[in-house]
């Protein structure tokens, strides 16, 4: 759901509801032109920020998508694996896997990818 939070004096109500994923949506990310939604259905949808229409679909995750981070023209997404997507070509560039536990959060800092995992570990690439 999309909320307009500009007027704090009134009750906040959704101005739009987007419904396209088949399972729970648990990750959102945005840049100046698009919003990205990740779902437990294993897909990522790319939405045009002006029209809020879904324009692209990224598939292939093992399990769902519960975290995403943007870095320049790359979208990095994860849960049971990490996928690195090139947003210019809309193609998968790399897949990262590990032995156990799902990933809860991703961030990019100083050209390193850092992930927080279910198995109480923080992994750095």
Q: Tell me if 78 sits within 8 A of 69, measured CB to CB.
A: no
Give the tokens for residue 71.
């870095």
pLDDT band at 24 (very low <50, low <70, confident <90, very high): confident
Domain ranges of the chain: 14-124
pLDDT above 70: residue 97: yes
pLDDT, average across residues 48-63:
85
Select the more confidently predicted residue: 22 or 111.
Answer: 111
Q: What is the pLDDT of residue 10?
A: 67
Mean pLDDT of the chain: 87
Report d(CA 16, CA 93) in Å as an integer: 33
Residue 31 has pLDDT above 90, yes or no: yes
**Percent residues over pLDDT 90 in the chain:** 53
User: What is the mean pLDDT of the segment spanning 8-34?
Assistant: 79
DSSP state letter for 45: E
CATH number of 14-124: 2.130.10.10
Contact 117, 103 (CB under 8 A): yes
pLDDT at 55: 81
């Amino acid at each position: 759901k999309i909320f307009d939070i500009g007027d704090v004096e009134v009750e906040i109500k959704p101005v739009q509801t987007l419904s396209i994923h088949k399972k729970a949506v648990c990750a959102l990310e945005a840049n100046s032109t698009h919003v990205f939604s990740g779902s437990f259905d294993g897909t990522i949808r790319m939405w045009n920020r002006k029209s809020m229409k879904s324009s692209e679909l990224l598939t292939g995750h093992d399990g769902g998508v519960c975290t995403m981070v943007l870095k320049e023209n790359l979208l990095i997404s994860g849960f049971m694996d990490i996928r690195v997507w090139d947003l210019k070509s809309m193609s998968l560039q790399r897949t990262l896997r590990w032995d156990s536990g799902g990933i809860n959060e991703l961030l990019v800092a100083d050209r390193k990818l850092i992930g927080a995992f279910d198995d109480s570990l923080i992994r750095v690439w």
